[in-house]
Chains A and B, each alone.
Chain A
């Protein structure tokens, strides 16, 4: 059984159909890249899997560990192990990053009937991960994402991912707004989290990211469907010919 299985998914927003019969199966331990032009529905897919309100699912199914994901609240999906690294992380003034992390971690642990982290253990854990991502301690004491650079916000997303230890990581345009050094750090953080129990979906429209995060499977998405799937050689084909060739395929 696949960890995530999307079957014939049709999704619209405000009456406009964006996903038009999308199929996708991701196994634990795999990294899938979804590539496609702007407006192909990549971000919509990530939002629908993670439970963002405002979308209408008119047909299809999303199974996560065999369970109906669409029937769950967004927070329950998070608790079950679905994590979305946001393209545009939000700012929360006055709520320090440290406190936000702790609130999120403890909420998830509580929902899973695990004991909450003690403060010293928690701080120790955060510091370890933060160091590995080159996140200075001072940043953790600032309001969540407030005054963070684009690179800092993305590193903060990976920090959260590392702490929450989800089984499915969806990374939406994690490379956008990053310079090459920041990209290396972020990709390093993501690669460190690859494991046989965890699946990742990396969404991007730049092939460059795949030099740093090498996927097992690449999907090309266009007009709300997956038009072609293949190994990493597909990226080279895209590089050479662009997305246009996939527009009318399938």
Chain B
């Protein structure tokens, strides 16, 4: 019942103060001067030893950003952000040049150990237990890229990946080592002009992960990036680019945490995915940024642009997200279904509690023929939080045979929270078939009493209901991540008996 207990701590408890990852690592860091200007952009680019084309790309984005205004259409409410009051670059001060993981600052290693992220090359994530009565879990490997504030501090299993031809490295390195790939794909899914936060990211992004899977290769292990914001007053602007070449497959996982602080911190990431013919990317996120305290003070502003481009025929992109953290989440992982017969999926669990605000959903843009998409969204609102699903499904004039199925379910816990569903559907092609279902439910007194009468605590009862509600999406997570997600919202018993 341990997981159930933890569920409760996440879900029911208004007292979000007990954020488990709220510690701070005391470490010397190397920061850019506070504020944003062309000089900041040049500083970051110089820190990364970037080629001239990259600097130009950034500067162009910066100049465009100056002409843009912050969007206000989302159902979220926050005081104006002072973009000159943020550090755009912070890196742990290296004691010397690193040649192996043993030379990483032990404080950082300790941080990741505390977070349960193995930077040493262990074969299996800690905490993964074989299901009781089930078969022994096969030892599956996960390669981890760890991003600490603005820089990547370690990437594991490099050699093994290299043998398979897979490139998995910090994007700052990829810019130097694989400029032809980066130049060919960077900004082609989320252009520098895309939106206010994406444009800001294009100007100041400091690190993130780069993945290239060559034609016909099935990536031999799960790839994972673990993002950690540590510095005070620092924004994190990571950039992830994943390319699955023809006939390849990769599963990528992303996790995020941050220390507990009184001020709000900005996280404006951009993720671009590209799948060529017959390729597939499965992208999973467990987002657990600091959500702010019980009075709604502090927490991360999670303003993220994630988009995948199914560029090739029969290609597939699948997004799965478990969103539990952040003061504000503004995030719409989307799929452009360009290739004929391509398909996109979006599976989401978004939990809001305390004063958290979530405005999240997806866009499925059907451009190619016979494209299909599937959206399963589970919103869980507790405390005084607001939880909005916002989604767009559109079929282009030429997208004959486009199909979409959308199911948006909301669960309310208590009577001071809100759940909202804002679906947009546009079909410019008469052969498109779009289905939309939505439900809203509450954990009723009767359900609670029934469970309590059987000897469960109210917390256990809530956990049971919530996990049952989110089950369809939890099952979509890769096994290794499901463990972490279960710790956040799930019940230990699901699937282990019966």
Contacts and interface: CB of A to CB of B under 8 A. Distances in A.
Interface of A: 50-54, 73-75, 77-79, 83-84, 86, 88-90, 92-100, 102-108, 110-111, 119-120, 122-123, 140-141, 143-144, 160, 164
Max count, chain A CB within 10 A of own CB: residue among B1, B451, B464? B451
Contacts of B496: 119
Interface string B123-165: 0000000001100000000000000000000000000000000
A96 B451 CA distance: 13
B447 A103 contact: no
B498 A99 contact: yes
Given A50-B453, A119-B132, A92 B497 contact: no
Interface residues of B, number: 33
A78 B493 contact: no
A164 B454 contact: yes
B68 interface: no
27 contacts: A50-B453, A52-B453, A74-B449, A74-B453, A77-B453, A90-B447, A92-B447, A92-B464, A95-B491, A96-B498, A99-B491, A99-B493, A99-B494, A99-B497, A102-B497, A103-B491, A104-B454, A104-B455, A106-B1, A107-B456, A107-B457, A110-B1, A119-B497, A123-B497, A123-B498, A160-B454, A164-B455
A141 B494 CA distance: 10
Interface of B: 1, 4, 132-133, 444-447, 449-458, 460, 464-465, 467-472, 491, 493-494, 496-498
| Closest 10 pairs (CB-CB, A-B) | A94-B468, A98-B498, A95-B468, A104-B454, A108-B455, A94-B471, A78-B455, A90-B450, A99-B493, A74-B452
Contacts of B494: 95-96, 99
Contacts of A98: 497-498
Nearest to A97: B498
Contacts of A164: 454-455
Q: Do most interface residues of chain B lie in helix, strand or loop, or is the interface mixed? A: helix
Contacts of A95: 464-465, 467-468, 491, 494
Nearest to B439: A93
Contacts of B498: 96-99, 123, 140-141
Contacts of B455: 75, 78-79, 104-105, 107-108, 111, 164
A120 B498 CA distance: 10
Contacts of B454: 78, 100, 104, 107-108, 160, 164
A144 B494 CA distance: 13
Contacts of A96: 494, 498
B452 A103 contact: no
A97 B132 CA distance: 18
Contacts of B456: 75, 103-104, 107
Contacts of B491: 95, 99, 103
B133 A119 contact: yes
B298 to A, nearest CB: 33
Given A99-B494, A103-B493, A111-B455, A94 B132 contact: no
A90 B452 CA distance: 12
Contacts of A100: 454, 464
B199 to A, nearest CB: 41
B457 A52 contact: no
Nearest to A95: B468
Contacts of A74: 449, 452-453
Given A98-B497, A104-B455, A92 B133 contact: no
B1 A90 contact: no
Given A75-B453, A108-B455, 7 more contacts: A52-B453, A86-B453, A90-B446, A94-B471, A103-B460, A103-B491, A164-B455
Contacts of A120: 133
A78 B452 contact: yes
A57 to B, nearest CB: 16
Which of B447, B491, B493 has the most chain A CB within a 10 Å cutoff? Answer: B493
